[in-house]
Amino acid sequence: MLRIARLLTALTLLYSTASTAAGYQIETMADGLDHPWSIAWLPDGRVLVTERAGRLRIIEHGALLEAAVDGVPDVLTVSQGGLFEALPDPDFATDPWLYLSFAHGSRDANATRVIRARLVGNALVDHQLLFTASPAKDTPVHFGGRMAFLGDTTLLIGLGDGFDFRERAQRLDNHFGKIVRIHRDGSIPTDNPFVGVDDALPEIWSFGHRNIQGLLVDPESNRIWAHEHGPRGGDEINLLHAGGNYGWPVATFGIDYSGARISPFSSRPGMLDSVHHWTPSIAPSGMTLYRGALFPEWRGRLLVSALAARHARVLTIDGESVTEDRIILGEIGERLRDIRTGPDGAVWVLTDANPGKVLRLTPSS
């Protein structure tokens, strides 16, 4: 027993030393979570954390509340399914709408769904269905699920290709491998790029994606960044443009899990190239563009958490190019599901485990 205690102490010391040498210290804000998936802040300082198992949790005054939020809709938790993002409305302070993305249905007929509900106390009320991906699929994987508000308060929703339906990512009559844009009430903006196009779904905003896992809007530049999983290789960072075709599966740096070639092309005319890609795959998950004050060396850089690689990346951006790709948080040694910038400039990270943790990074000095 004493030997185990000494080993744990040594590992904790190593973890702390590695973090300090990198210029940050790591504080555990909450643990015991079941595969936490996303994190967000409310105007009053409360922190929202989703658990893929279908629970919405709140951290208040630095402590995780024991009771989960009531009123979360039924969620499909088979395979990669679950509760994904909880995103506060831009006007939450005056009208407390919360937007939830999650897997809906059954193993044999499932889809990504988005609802909104008002958060009143510790309960969701006044539920409204906004979007359900179509058609339903019989593969409970590649749901996407990330969301982001544009400056005009329309909502972007990232979707996956369902794994077995990758060819449909190039067609505009379905939601596989798409990003869609809707109003906050679920209606479709009339200036979407495919409104009025024959055989195209008018909510589609971009296409040719595999499985969107990171999505953000930079309020300083109005640029829209996304990343998506490749298969074996070919994870991508993309700058998004309305109506853009991002290539999957016609243009990719990845190969199939069997080792077979998916496409001979990594670039094609009429398709937008990625800004950056990873081969072999790191399985990017969350993403934040750091604009805080606590880490001036990270300001203006993309921070990307990774599942398979069990670390995070700091990407230096110059125009539309990535000029440096640096590893951080490797000392944690766990799959990382999300990374976000808190209101005070601290960086928050979720570990993808059961039990999973909420971690907070501040400068070591």
Query: What value does the mean pLDDT take over residues 60-75?
Result: 98
Give the angle subtended at the CA of 11 by the CAs of 10 and 12, to the nearest 5°.
Answer: 90
Cβ neighbours, 10 Å, residue 205? 25
Alpha carbons 143 and 228: distance in angstroms, whole number? 11
Please report whether residue 305 resides in a domain: no
Paired strand residues for 347: 341, 361
Tens of pLDDT along 16-34? 545 666 899 999 999 999 9
Distance of CA 288 to CAs 150, 217, 327, 340, Å?
Answer: 15, 9, 15, 5
pLDDT given at position 11: 44
Q: How many domains in the chain? A: 1
Q: In this model, does residue 8 exceed pLDDT 60? A: no
Nearest to 230 by CA among 206, 250, 205, 248: 248
Query: What value does the mean pLDDT take over residues 149-166?
Result: 98
Sign of CA dihedral 196, 197, 201, 203: negative
Query: What value does the mean pLDDT take over residues 69-93?
Result: 99
Local confidence band at 75 (pLDDT 50, 70, 90 cut-offs):
very high
Q: In this model, does residue 3 exceed pLDDT 70? A: no
- HEC-encoded secondary structure of 228-243: ECCCECCEEEEECCCC
DSSP one-letter code for 67? S
pLDDT given at position 14: 47
Q: In this model, does residue 365 exceed pLDDT 90? A: no
Query: What value does the mean pLDDT take over residues 135-148?
Result: 98
| DSSP codes, 22-34 | TTEEEEEEEEEES
CB 83 within 8 A of CB 55: yes
Average model confidence (pLDDT) across the chain? 95
Query: What value does the mean pLDDT take over residues 99-124?
Result: 98
Local confidence band at 7 (pLDDT 50, 70, 90 cut-offs):
very low
DSSP one-letter code for 332? G
Please report whether residue 16 resides in a domain: no
Which residues have a Cβ under 8 Å from the Cβ of 44 and sit 6 or more positions away?
A: none
Nearest to 289 by CA among 299, 281, 280, 279: 299
Which residues have a Cβ under 8 Å from the Cβ of 270 and sit 6 or more positions away?
A: 245
Q: In this model, does residue 9 exceed pLDDT 60? A: no
Please report whether residue 106 resides in a domain: yes
Structural domain including 203 reads 36-282
Please report whether residue 100 resides in a domain: yes
CB 286 within 8 A of CB 304: yes
Query: What value does the mean pLDDT take over residues 254-283?
Result: 95
Q: Which helix (H) or strand (E) holds 3?
A: helix 2-21
Q: In this model, does residue 135 exceed pLDDT 70? A: yes
pLDDT given at position 21: 63
Nearest to 256 by CA among 236, 284, 277, 232: 232
| DSSP codes, 108-156 | TEEEEEEEEEEEETTEEEEEEEEEE-SS-BS-----EEEEEE-TTS-EE
Distance of CA 285 to CAs 62, 141, 145, 170, Å?
Answer: 25, 15, 11, 23
Q: In this model, does residue 6 exceed pLDDT 50? A: no
Please report whether residue 277 resides in a domain: yes
Query: What value does the mean pLDDT take over residues 355-360?
Result: 98
pLDDT given at position 83: 99
What's the CATH code of the domain at 50? 2.120.10.30
Tens of pLDDT along 326-345? 999 999 999 999 999 999 99
**Omega before 280 within 30 of 0, i.e. cis:** yes
DSSP one-letter code for 219? T
Local confidence band at 208 (pLDDT 50, 70, 90 cut-offs):
very high
4-8, 236-240, 293-297: lowest mean pLDDT where? Answer: 4-8
pLDDT > 90 fraction of the chain, expressed in percent and rounded? 92
pLDDT given at position 188: 99
Please report whether residue 150 resides in a domain: yes
pLDDT given at position 10: 46
Please report whether residue 135 resides in a domain: yes
Q: In this model, does residue 105 exceed pLDDT 60? A: yes
CB 80 within 8 A of CB 140: yes
Alpha carbons 241 and 243: distance in angstroms, whole number? 6
Return the active site residues: 142
Instruction: Kindly state the tokens that stand for 44.
Output: 């009053």
Query: What value does the mean pLDDT take over residues 307-319?
Result: 97
pLDDT given at position 179: 99
Nearest to 365 by CA among 27, 23, 29, 26: 23
Please report whether residue 350 resides in a domain: no
**Omega before 135 within 30 of 0, i.e. cis:** yes
